[in-house]
Structure 1
Amino acid sequence: MSISRLGALSVDVTDLEAWRHVLVDLLGLHARPRESDQDPLLIRIDDRHHRIALYPASEDRIRTIMWEVDSPQELQETAERVSAEGIAVEWTNTVAPEERMALAAFRFVDRDGFPNEVCFGPTVDHLPLEQGRVIGGFVTGELGLGHVVLMCKDYPAAVDFYTRVLGFQLTDYIVWDGADATFMHCNARHHSLALMNECFSFKGGDFNHLMLEVASLDDVGRAYDIVNEAGIALQMTFGRHTNDGVTSFYLRTPSGFGIEIGYGGEKVNSDDWEVKTFRSPSRWGHEPQKAG
């Protein structure tokens, strides 16, 4: 039993209006109404209540990486395995049921300091989604919210934890220029999680990027044009990956980490999947860009 999908990402941000400008004004994503300046900016991209939550704060940092399981039994057993590692588990079902974003959930912080939450029964919104003018749709559903890439101080230990304790399965590896990346899946999406060693300018505990998979290559192209025209900094240019075949670009968020917008990810057939090692992350493009 294991994690079933990536559910949502919550971030503490120092410049909420800059985030709103990128996600809402430029990319046209659906923002839920806020009642006060202290409320988070909640972003919808499908039938979930929200997939991205941005909290006004004095420091930019990841607040929660939300994972989902498919049954109360899996939730309980996952919590027990995490606790058996000597990691503190905090159950979050103390608020009134109507205030919860899931039927049940627990939180823990991994060895690199990443705050994780595992939930069962996330909230679904029955109201229609406001479609933006840029992106026609996202690939979510049973595949979840794209993927995240995390930088690790003790990289082998992190891979061991996420595979042995949380049940992620190996997809493949990329090794290049001192970088070592392990890609892992928990459903048919090529990877919902990738872990990397400390390399380039990244240290253990750094959040590298969130990937959002869109429904067409035109969605990627339109977003790329708009981001460039607006002068938004890139983390990596337009390109195509070697291992999952995704065509994408990476914009640099106001909080410093990247958001990858991509199309065409390969699906994993667990019955005959062959784990491979690639020597480059890109077939073409994806040139890294220095932070301004």
Structure 2
Amino acid sequence: MTPDTPSVFGAVHLGYLVIETERFADWRRFGADAIGMHHDALDADRMRFRLDDKECRFLLVRGPAEDVVAMGWHLADHAAFEQVEARVRASGVPYRRGTEQEAAARGVERLLRFPGPKGITQEIATAPRTAAEPMTMLAGGFVTGESGMGHVALTTTRPAETRGYFTHVFDARLTDYIDETVSGAKLKIRFLRVNERHHSIAVAAVRGAPVDPIRTRVQHLNIQVAELDDVARSYQRVHELGFSMALSVGQHTNDRELSYYARTPSGFEWEVGWNPIVVDESTWEPSTHQGISVWGHRPVGQTIIDKLAQFRTATRSLAHKEQTVPQLGGTGIPDA
């Protein structure tokens, strides 16, 4: 963004995610019966989950990836949409407008699709549609609104480039850092916000080594429940229905969110959290926290086989160049 270009910060909200999977039956049980979201079956190859009155928060499409394949950003108005669209067009990257069918599946009006870090397509959209049917779900409610629907965490071998991308495209701001050691590996995690939510993107990297120990493009995604009881009740349902838990209940050091992490049918993790802090732009200054948790968030059922699998994934990542989009700011932003 140049000094004379208006910022879209505050007009950007994480709106929906697109997940590609062949495990529709397991995802139906996980999303509706364990996590407690509203489920809509569209056809044999597509289904959606809702968190609120919007038609779509998660679109699941049939395919082999077993991963998040697209991130959808709601723009507050057509002016903000056109600002981001202009940045994409000026960069020279390939982009295309979504079809009427694609927009309808996502419950939006205008849709533009373009490349993002780690091969995750980025989508911008306007005018998310309100569903005609009331919700039927086990959870009492989720927090969305002006903060968007939660956050996505990525592991990367190119953290500066990934941060640069979201800063250039969406005017993301650095909220803070966490330094953590996991199984002997030193991690630095950067937290980026696009509105008052503490972060919509978390970017984690192994310090001093260009390796990525996570198979999936997304390490975890987060949704926020409105009531503490819904953390406990969904945690219990995840266990009772036989889904595996990744991390037990705990509280984070930086955003103070109380949460747990379940493992999805596709293998990446799903965080259910409650009561994170809201950033006050007039006073906030980035800082560094030691460790991800004040208490809790202990690994559940992790075996030596799991650790070896992560080691193999990290080793294989050395042979593959991670996708960045240098035309859209992915040339890197050094840490302060």
> TM-score surpassing 0.5?
yes
Give the distance between the partners of 1:256 and 1:160, measured in 2 at CA.
Answer: 28
- The answer to whether 1:201 aligns with 2:210 is no
Within the candidate set 219, 224, 227, 1:216 is matched to 227
SS in structure 1 at match of 2:94 = coil
Contact 2:70 2:122 (C-alpha < 8 Å) held by counterparts: yes
The residue type paired with residue 267 of structure 1 is V
**Distance across 2 between alignment mates of 1:129 and 1:171:** 34
1:69 to 75, 80, 97: 75
Name the one with the larger helix percent: 2
Residue number in structure 2 paired with 1:20: 28
Matching of residue 147 in structure 1 with residue 151 in structure 2: yes
Q: Contact 2:170–2:194 (CA<8 Å) still a contact in 1?
A: no
Matched, 1:5 2:13: yes
CA distance in 2: counterparts of 1:272 and 1:99, whole angstroms? 40
How far, CA to CA, are the matches of 1:233 and 1:283 in structure 2?
A: 23
TM-score (norm 2): 0.79
- Kept in 2, the 8 Å contact 1:64–1:117? The answer is yes
Aligned AA for 1:173? Answer: Y
Conservation of the 8 A alpha-carbon contact between 2:40 and 2:48: yes
Any stretches of 5+ residues in structure 1 without a counterpart?
A: none
Q: Secondary structure at the match of 1:122?
A: coil
Q: Are 2:251 and 2:294, in contact at CA under 8 Å, matched by a contact in 1?
A: yes
Name the SS of the counterpart of 2:59 in structure 1. Answer: strand
CA contact (8 A) 1:211 1:261 kept: yes
* 1:198-277 → structure 2 map (5 Å cutoff): 198=206, 201-202=213-214, 206-277=217-288
Query: Quick one: which amino acid aligns to residue 297 of structure 2?
Result: H
**Identity level (%):** 31
Match of 2:44 among 14, 37, 40: 37
Query: Could you tell me how far apart the structure 1 residues matched to 2:103 and 2:70 are?
Result: 20
Match of 1:125 among 119, 131, 134: 131
Q: Which residue of 1 aligns with 2:166?
A: 162
Return the alpha-carbon distance in structure 1 between the equivalents of residues 57 and 296 of structure 2: 28
Whether the aligned pair in 2 keeps the contact of 1:31 and 1:42 (CA below 8 Å) is: yes
- CA distance in structure 1 between the partners assigned to 2:249 and 2:61 by the alignment: 29
Once the two structures are superposed, residues 52-81 of structure 1 have per-residue CA deviations (whole angstroms, 9 ceiling, x without a partner) of: 111122331323110111121211221222
Contact 2:115 2:122 in 1 (8 A): yes
Q: Does 1:192 align with 2:204?
A: no
Q: Check whether the contact 1:93–1:104 (CA below 8 A) recurs between aligned residues.
A: no
TM-score (normalised: structure 1): 0.91
Higher RCO structure, 1 or 2 (CA under 8 Å, sep 6+): 2
Q: Distance in 2 between matches of 1:92 and 1:99?
A: 11
2:326 equivalent in structure 1? none
The 1-side partners of 2:270 and 2:107 are apart by 24
5+ long unaligned stretches in structure 2? 1-6, 307-336
Check conservation: 1:93, 1:100, Cα contact below 8 A.
no
Deviation at 1:202, TM superposition (A): 2.3
